[in-house]
Amino acid sequence: MTNKEKIEAAKEKFGILLEEQLARVERMKNEPDFIDYSKLDKIIIGVTGGDGIGPAITGQAQRILEFLLKDDIASGKVEVRNIEGLTIEKRVECMKAIPDDVMAELKKCHVILKGPTTTPRKGDPWPNIESANVAMRKELDLFANVRPVRIPEQGIDWTFYRENTEGAYAVGSKGAVVDEDLSVDFTVTTSQGTERVIRAAFDFAVKNGKTRVTAVTKANIIKATDGKFLDLFYAIAKEYPQIEADDWYIDIMTAKLVDEKRRKDFQVVVLPNLYGDIITDEAAEFQGGVGTAGSSNIGKRYAMFEAIHGSAPRMVAEGRDKYADPCSVIRACVLLLNHIGYNEQAAKLEKALDICTQTERKVYTTGRDTGATGEEVTNYIMETIEKL
């Protein structure tokens, strides 16, 4: 193939990608407003365990939800619905990131509690199918990935709003391999996708008594897409004069989170997809690692809640999945409860988790050193809730 033919083939592929993204922009322009859970006759919570350690830890989180919502489950106001089939084996069998029947069941729910899922990488025994997380975020239009990190004794109380459907991940599987010497990937930023996540971050700040929102980009180098994100950030900030707005570049921001004097100043942080993925893992280390952190994926119609770590298939292969720490996905339950309006139950659970995992540190000391099972960890958290 000549260079001209290679370029024409790449241009055709890029053209298809642009057509898809322009169609997506039109859909975003016509999207409905956020669902009002208080007006629903029944809230349906779907629970899907994923694979690896996912079923083990998600099962424990489901116990917590059913414990805290037992009265409304009994009355029919809330239904907890188990959804099977989001395993790597079934996904490979269908050669889809999410099998059609599983997606159909997920769409019947209002919110989803999801266990970790395996994303194949080069060298794995599985075919190269797309991440189930990325596919779910796209299909359900879960545009904001919200990850809180709290360490009260260190003065850390961060909430990260990561744009979830654009950036480097939006078309991560649709790059162009021009030839054996040249590959090109793409990053995507739209006005509609950027505005809604930035506005969500500012709205959260206002509703939760925060005084500062920080944007993180690399707009000095990535001028078209990151530059657009930053321009829209400051345009929207003008609508919230009571909130201080500032911005940092991603490289120095990773350093400033380690700076004991500076890091206490950060409150709400909004950032593009790739940067958000990286920096929230760093932030979680302050709290005890990714095994301690939950996250929410928010859209206007659907919302999904999950741990931020992977499926740890090695633990399953070694027969240790029952020892997997469920606290990450239990922290995601705090976000789920708040999202659907059960703020009192969420506050109790968050306080119990802080006592168990930070103040007393009994859960982690026991789990890591003497081999407490996920069930025993969950029992301890439930006992703490009952004492509050």
pLDDT of residue 288: 73
Amino acid identity for residue 98 in this structure: I
pLDDT of residue 220: 96
Please enumerate in sequence order all residues whose Cβ is within 8 A of that of 84, keeping only pairs 6 or more positions apart, or say none: 48, 49, 102
pLDDT of residue 121: 73
pLDDT of residue 284: 85
DSSP string of 82-109? E----SHHHHHHHTSSS-HHHHHHHTT-
pLDDT of 173 > 90? The answer is no
Amino acid identity for residue 275 in this structure: Y
Other Cβ atoms within 10 Å of 256 Cβ, number = 14
E-strand ranges in 222-377 read 244-249, 268-271, 294-298, 303-307
Share of the chain above pLDDT 70, in %: 95
Mean of per-residue pLDDT scores for the chain: 90
Q: If 0-12 CB within 10 Å is exposed, 13-18 middle and 19+ buried, where does residue 35 land?
A: middle
Give the pLDDT band of residue 1 (cuts 50, 70, 90): confident
Q: If you count them, how many residues does the chain have?
A: 388
Bridge pairing between strands 294-298 and 303-307: antiparallel
Helix (H) or strand (E) holding 150: strand 144-151
Q: At what angle do helices 343-354 and 374-387 cross, to 10 degrees?
A: 120
pLDDT of residue 185: 87
Strand order in the sheet with 294-298: 78-82, 43-48, 111-114, 303-307, 294-298, 144-151, 156-163, 268-271, 212-217, 244-249
Q: How far apart are CA 354 and CA 361, in angstroms?
A: 9
Amino acid identity for residue 148 in this structure: P
Distances (CA, A) of 119 to 177, 288, 324, 344: 21, 24, 19, 36
What is this structure's pTM?
Answer: 0.82
Closest Cα to residue 146, out of 297, 338, 349, 341?
Answer: 297
Q: How far apart are CA 345 and CA 334, in angstroms?
A: 8
pLDDT of residue 363: 57
Domain chopping of the chain, boundaries: 40-142+299-388
pLDDT of 48 > 90? The answer is yes
pLDDT of residue 298: 94
Average pLDDT estimate for 204-220: 95
pLDDT of 273 > 90? The answer is yes
For residue range 83-95, list pLDDT tens digits in order: 999 999 999 999 9
Name the more confident of 382 and 172. Answer: 382
pLDDT of residue 358: 62
- 3-class SS string, 198-245: HHHHHHHHHHCCCCEEEEEECCCCCCCHHHHHHHHHHHHHCCCCCCEE
Say which CATH superfamily domain 40-142+299-388 falls into.
Answer: Isopropylmalate Dehydrogenase (3.40.718.10)
Average pLDDT estimate for 60-87: 97
For residue range 25-45, list pLDDT tens digits in order: 999 999 888 899 999 999 999
- 3-class SS string, 15-61: HHHHHHHHHHHHHHHCCCCCCCHHHCCCEEEEEECCCCCHHHHHHHH
Q: 353 and 151 in contact (C-beta within 8 Å)? A: no
pLDDT of 175 > 90? The answer is no
pLDDT of residue 145: 93
Other Cβ atoms within 10 Å of 320 Cβ, number = 15
pLDDT of 313 > 70? The answer is yes
